[in-house]
């Protein structure tokens, strides 16, 4: 017979101010129609953010690493009365390299984390919270738990170990 795995939420821990659920306890039961096995676990949830807080430190460091370049205005050569160059012309020095280096640094805004919209506590469903748990555990861990429970059912069906005293049988 096929094994059915059932996830049940036993309790939730929440903040009373806003109803944010920060953890709880759950069980996973395996049932094959004859035998049953189960586990109980606790889980903690981190607050979800729509926008994660970001620090602009890498961008600031990259900009600070660009050498300062002063822009110098172009000046025409100064000639004497005979047309001889007294002061050579000065080509404009633009901070092109510095500007290009700064432009190459991605714009990073320091953003305070914006909390994701909370589902009102009264509107939560067991399916929603089970989804959170499975998401947090990840598919590999969910599979591992279910295989562990299946192993317990298999041991009940065909025990590989026994206890007892031979003289009392």
Model-level pTM? 0.59
Q: In whole angstroms, how far apart are CA 69 and each of 37, 91, 123, 149, 157?
A: 72, 14, 60, 68, 80
Cα 44 from Cα 27, distance rounded (Å) = 14
Whole-number pLDDT of residue 150: 97
Whole-number pLDDT of residue 103: 61
Whole-number pLDDT of residue 118: 84
45-86: pLDDT as tens digits: 988 765 555 554 455 555 556 555 555 566 676 777 777 777
119-130: pLDDT as tens digits: 889 999 999 999
Whole-number pLDDT of residue 168: 86
Residue 151 — pLDDT band, cuts 50, 70, 90? very high
Q: Which of 113, 111, 117, 112 is nearest to 20 (CA)?
A: 117
Whole-number pLDDT of residue 143: 97
Domain boundaries, the chain: 4-51+122-160, 59-104
Cα 29 from Cα 150, distance rounded (Å) = 10
Cα 70 from Cα 50, distance rounded (Å) = 42
């Amino acid at each position: 017979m096929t094994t059915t795995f059932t996830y049940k939420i036993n309790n939730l821990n929440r903040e009373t101010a806003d109803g944010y659920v920060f953890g709880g306890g759950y069980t996973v039961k395996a049932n094959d129609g004859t035998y049953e096995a189960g586990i109980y676990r606790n889980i903690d949830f981190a607050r979800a953010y729509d926008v994660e807080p970001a620090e602009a430190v890498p961008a600031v460091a990259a900009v600070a690493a660009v050498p300062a370049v002063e822009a110098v205005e172009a000046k025409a050569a100064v000639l004497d009365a005979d047309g001889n160059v007294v002061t050579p012309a000065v080509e404009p020095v633009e901070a092109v390299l510095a500007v290009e280096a700064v432009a190459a640094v991605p714009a990073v805004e320091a953003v305070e984390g914006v909390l994701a919209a909370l589902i009102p506590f009264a509107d939560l469903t067991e399916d929603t919270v089970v989804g959170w748990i499975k998401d947090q555990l990840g598919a590999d861990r969910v599979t591992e738990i279910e295989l562990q429970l299946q192993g317990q059912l298999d041991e009940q069906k065909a025990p590989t170990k026994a206890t007892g005293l031979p003289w009392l049988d």
